């Protein structure tokens, strides 16, 4: 097992999910619920499933496209999102 990659994946997903709307939804659900354990297992299962689907999709796409191109596409996508949030956010 590649422990460096495992740690990097964990840190990346952990930091990106902090304060995410899915975490806020889990907080709201557990606050209204009599069973916070069920909310935990439901949200943990959903995160596991979405991560699994992402890994499968990434593995399939990496078979077709070179890794360098995938990284470039991701970088351009994140740059477009950043520019859009900085300059074209219509919320006031």
Q: Is the pLDDT of residue 53 over 80?
A: yes
Confidence of residue 67 (pLDDT cuts 50, 70, 90): confident
Give the chain's length. Answer: 92
Selected residue with higher pLDDT from 33 and 49: 49
Per-residue model confidence (pLDDT) at position 80: 94
Structure tokens at 51: 């991560």
Own/partner long-range contacts of 48-53 (Cβ < 8 Å, ≥24 apart): 51/13
For every residue of 6-33, which 3-state class applies, written as one string? Answer: HHHHHHHHHHHHCCCHHHHHHHHHHHHC
pLDDT at 17 > cutoff 60: yes
Mean pLDDT taken over the chain: 88
Q: If we measure between CA atoms, which residue out of 27, 77, 55 comes closest to residue 85?
A: 77
Range 20-35 average pLDDT: 85
């Amino acid at each position: 097992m590649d422990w460096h990659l495992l740690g990097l994946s964990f840190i990346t997903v952990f930091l990106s999910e902090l304060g995410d709307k899915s975490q806020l939804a889990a907080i709201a659900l557990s606050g209204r619920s009599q069973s916070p354990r069920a909310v935990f297992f439901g949200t943990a299962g959903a995160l596991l499933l979405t991560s699994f689907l992402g890994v499968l999709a990434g593995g399939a796409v990496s078979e077709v496209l070179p890794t360098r191109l995938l990284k470039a596409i991701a970088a351009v996508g994140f740059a477009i999102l950043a520019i859009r949030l900085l300059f074209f956010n219509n919320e006031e």
